[in-house]
C-alpha cells in the first residue's frame, strides 16, 4: 500500500510527458479491443491510449458511447 502513491505519481508523470510514441486512431481501437480481453495492462500501451483519448475528441466520444452501451447491457 505504501508503494501506491509513488506508482501513481510515476503514472501521472508518464501521462504528462510529451509523447514520443503517440498512437493514431487505428492503434487506439486496436488497443481498446486488446484491453477488453486482457486483465493486465502494459504501461506504455496505457500511456499512449489515455493520451489519445485526451487528444482526440472523436475517439473519446466513440469510446464514451461504447462504454455506455456496454454498461447498459
Given the rule CB under 5 A, which residues bind Zn ion? Answer: 25, 56, 59
Distance in Å, CB of 23 to Zn ion, minimum: 8
Cα(31)–Cα(64) distance, rounded to whole angstroms?
15
Cα(53)–Cα(28) distance, rounded to whole angstroms?
8
Distance in Å, CB of 57 to Zn ion, minimum: 8
Question: Which of the 8 DSSP states describes residue 44?
Answer: H
Distance in Å, CB of 66 to Zn ion, minimum: 13
Identity of the residue, 26 or 73, whose beta carbon is nearer to Zn ion in the bound complex: 26
Cα(24)–Cα(29) distance, rounded to whole angstroms?
9
Identity of the residue, 31 or 59, whose beta carbon is nearer to Zn ion in the bound complex: 59
Amino acid at each position: 500500500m505504501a508503494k501506491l502513491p509513488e506508482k501513481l505519481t510515476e503514472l501521472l508523470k508518464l501521462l504528462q510527458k510529451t509523447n514520443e510514441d503517440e498512437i493514431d486512431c487505428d492503434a487506439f481501437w486496436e488497443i481498446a479491443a486488446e484491453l477488453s480481453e486482457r486483465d493486465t495492462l502494459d504501461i506504455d500501451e496505457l500511456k499512449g491510449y489515455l493520451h489519445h483519448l485526451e487528444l482526440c475528441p472523436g475517439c473519446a466520444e466513440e469510446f464514451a458511447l461504447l462504454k455506455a452501451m456496454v454498461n447498459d447491457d
